[in-house]
Protein backbone atom coordinates (compact mmCIF):
# COMPACT_ATOMS: atom_id res chain seq x y z
CA UNK A 1 0.00 0.00 0.00
CA UNK A 2 1.42 3.39 -0.98
CA UNK A 3 1.12 6.16 1.59
CA UNK A 4 2.27 9.76 1.92
CA UNK A 5 3.91 10.61 5.23
CA UNK A 6 2.37 13.62 6.95
CA UNK A 7 5.13 13.81 9.59
CA UNK A 8 8.64 12.42 9.98
CA UNK A 9 8.38 8.77 11.03
CA UNK A 10 11.49 7.19 12.58
CA UNK A 11 12.90 4.27 10.58
CA UNK A 12 10.39 4.91 7.77
CA UNK A 13 10.88 8.33 6.20
CA UNK A 14 10.50 12.07 6.25
CA UNK A 15 7.45 14.27 5.78
CA UNK A 16 5.97 14.31 2.22
CA UNK A 17 7.79 11.14 1.15
CA UNK A 18 5.85 8.39 -0.62
CA UNK A 19 6.44 4.97 0.96
CA UNK A 20 5.21 1.47 0.26
CA UNK A 21 4.08 -0.13 3.55
CA UNK A 22 2.00 -3.15 4.50
CA UNK A 23 -1.75 -2.51 4.77
CA UNK A 24 -1.82 -3.62 8.42
CA UNK A 25 0.96 -1.19 9.41
CA UNK A 26 -0.82 1.63 7.62
CA UNK A 27 -4.30 0.90 9.01
CA UNK A 28 -3.27 0.03 12.57
CA UNK A 29 -0.41 2.46 13.20
CA UNK A 30 0.12 5.20 10.61
CA UNK A 31 -3.48 6.24 9.89
CA UNK A 32 -4.81 6.32 13.51
CA UNK A 33 -1.87 8.45 14.66
CA UNK A 34 -2.21 10.84 11.72
CA UNK A 35 1.27 10.01 10.44
CA UNK A 36 0.27 9.12 6.87
CA UNK A 37 -2.54 9.08 4.32
CA UNK A 38 -3.31 6.92 1.29
CA UNK A 39 -1.62 8.04 -1.93
CA UNK A 40 -4.30 8.99 -4.45
CA UNK A 41 -3.92 10.67 -7.83
CA UNK A 42 -5.08 13.98 -6.34
CA UNK A 43 -2.57 13.73 -3.49
CA UNK A 44 0.20 12.79 -5.97
CA UNK A 45 -0.60 15.86 -8.11
CA UNK A 46 -0.57 18.05 -5.01
CA UNK A 47 2.82 16.62 -4.00
CA UNK A 48 4.24 17.40 -7.45
CA UNK A 49 3.03 21.00 -7.19
CA UNK A 50 4.60 21.31 -3.73
CA UNK A 51 7.89 19.89 -5.03
CA UNK A 52 7.93 22.38 -7.91
CA UNK A 53 7.21 25.25 -5.51
CA UNK A 54 10.04 24.08 -3.21
CA UNK A 55 12.46 23.91 -6.15
CA UNK A 56 11.52 27.42 -7.28
CA UNK A 57 11.93 28.71 -3.71
CA UNK A 58 15.34 27.01 -3.41
CA UNK A 59 16.48 28.54 -6.71
CA UNK A 60 15.31 31.98 -5.58
CA UNK A 61 17.15 31.59 -2.25
CA UNK A 62 20.30 30.50 -4.08
CA UNK A 63 20.22 33.59 -6.31
CA UNK A 64 19.67 35.85 -3.28
CA UNK A 65 22.48 34.13 -1.35
CA UNK A 66 24.87 34.46 -4.30
CA UNK A 67 24.06 38.18 -4.52
CA UNK A 68 24.70 38.57 -0.77
CA UNK A 69 27.99 36.67 -1.10
CA UNK A 70 29.13 38.98 -3.90
CA UNK A 71 28.27 42.07 -1.83
CA UNK A 72 30.02 40.73 1.28
CA UNK A 73 33.12 39.33 -0.45
CA UNK A 74 35.89 41.89 -0.15
CA UNK A 75 33.81 44.24 1.99
CA UNK A 76 35.84 46.37 4.39
CA UNK A 77 34.26 47.13 7.76
CA UNK A 78 35.67 49.42 10.43
CA UNK A 79 34.92 48.67 14.08
CA UNK A 80 35.83 51.19 16.78
CA UNK A 81 36.62 49.71 20.20
CA UNK A 82 38.10 50.85 23.50
CA UNK A 83 41.82 50.13 23.73
CA UNK A 84 44.48 50.35 26.43
CA UNK A 85 47.59 52.53 26.19
CA UNK A 86 49.49 49.59 24.67
CA UNK A 87 46.98 49.22 21.83
CA UNK A 88 45.35 46.09 23.21
CA UNK A 89 41.59 45.81 22.88
CA UNK A 90 39.84 45.62 26.26
CA UNK A 91 37.16 43.04 25.47
CA UNK A 92 38.28 41.76 22.09
CA UNK A 93 36.12 41.82 19.00
CA UNK A 94 33.68 38.92 18.94
CA UNK A 95 31.55 37.42 16.21
CA UNK A 96 28.59 39.09 17.97
CA UNK A 97 30.13 42.56 17.50
CA UNK A 98 30.95 41.84 13.85
CA UNK A 99 27.41 40.54 13.21
CA UNK A 100 25.90 43.66 14.81
CA UNK A 101 28.08 45.89 12.63
CA UNK A 102 27.15 43.98 9.46
CA UNK A 103 23.45 44.12 10.42
CA UNK A 104 23.71 47.91 10.83
CA UNK A 105 25.10 48.03 7.28
CA UNK A 106 22.06 46.11 6.02
CA UNK A 107 23.48 42.57 5.82
CA UNK A 108 21.49 39.98 7.77
CA UNK A 109 24.20 37.75 9.23
CA UNK A 110 23.90 35.63 12.38
CA UNK A 111 26.83 35.60 14.81
CA UNK A 112 27.21 31.82 14.52
CA UNK A 113 27.84 32.20 10.77
CA UNK A 114 30.98 34.29 11.30
CA UNK A 115 34.25 32.38 11.51
CA UNK A 116 37.19 34.24 13.08
CA UNK A 117 40.55 32.63 12.32
CA UNK A 118 42.24 33.94 15.48
CA UNK A 119 41.03 36.05 18.41
CA UNK A 120 40.92 39.77 17.68
CA UNK A 121 42.74 41.33 20.64
CA UNK A 122 44.62 44.23 19.00
CA UNK A 123 43.91 47.03 16.58
CA UNK A 124 44.62 46.30 12.93
CA UNK A 125 43.21 44.46 9.93
CA UNK A 126 41.69 40.99 10.17
CA UNK A 127 39.97 38.69 7.67
CA UNK A 128 36.85 36.84 8.78
CA UNK A 129 34.74 34.34 6.87
CA UNK A 130 30.96 34.62 6.67
CA UNK A 131 29.38 31.21 6.03
CA UNK A 132 26.21 31.47 3.97
CA UNK A 133 23.56 28.91 2.99
CA UNK A 134 24.12 26.63 -0.03
CA UNK A 135 27.80 26.20 0.87
CA UNK A 136 28.77 29.76 -0.04
CA UNK A 137 31.35 31.79 1.88
CA UNK A 138 32.47 35.41 1.80
CA UNK A 139 35.66 36.99 3.12
CA UNK A 140 35.18 40.29 4.97
CA UNK A 141 38.04 42.57 6.03
CA UNK A 142 37.60 43.90 9.56
CA UNK A 143 39.62 46.96 10.55
CA UNK A 144 39.77 47.43 14.31
CA UNK A 145 40.52 51.03 15.32
CA UNK A 146 40.76 52.84 18.64
CA UNK A 147 37.59 54.56 19.81
CA UNK A 148 37.96 58.28 20.52
Each residue's pLDDT, cut to its tens digit, for the chain (148 residues) gives 999 999 999 999 999 899 999 999 999 999 999 999 999 999 999 999 999 999 999 999 999 999 999 999 989 999 999 888 877 888 889 999 999 999 999 998 999 999 999 989 988 999 999 999 989 999 999 999 988 7
CATH for 2-63, among 3.40.5.10, 3.90.550.50, 3.40.50.1970, 3.40.309.10? 3.40.5.10
- This prediction's pTM: 0.68
Which residues touch 73 (CB under 8 Å, ≥6 apart)? 138, 139, 140
pLDDT recorded at residue 87:
74
In what helix (H) or strand (E) does residue 68 lie, and over which residues does it extend? helix 41-72
Sequence spans of domains, the chain: 2-63, 69-146
pLDDT recorded at residue 2:
95
Amino acid sequence: MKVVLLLDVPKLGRKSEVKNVSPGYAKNFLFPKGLAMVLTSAVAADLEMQDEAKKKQAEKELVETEALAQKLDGLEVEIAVKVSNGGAVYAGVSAQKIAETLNKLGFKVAKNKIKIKSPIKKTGDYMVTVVLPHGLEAEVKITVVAEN
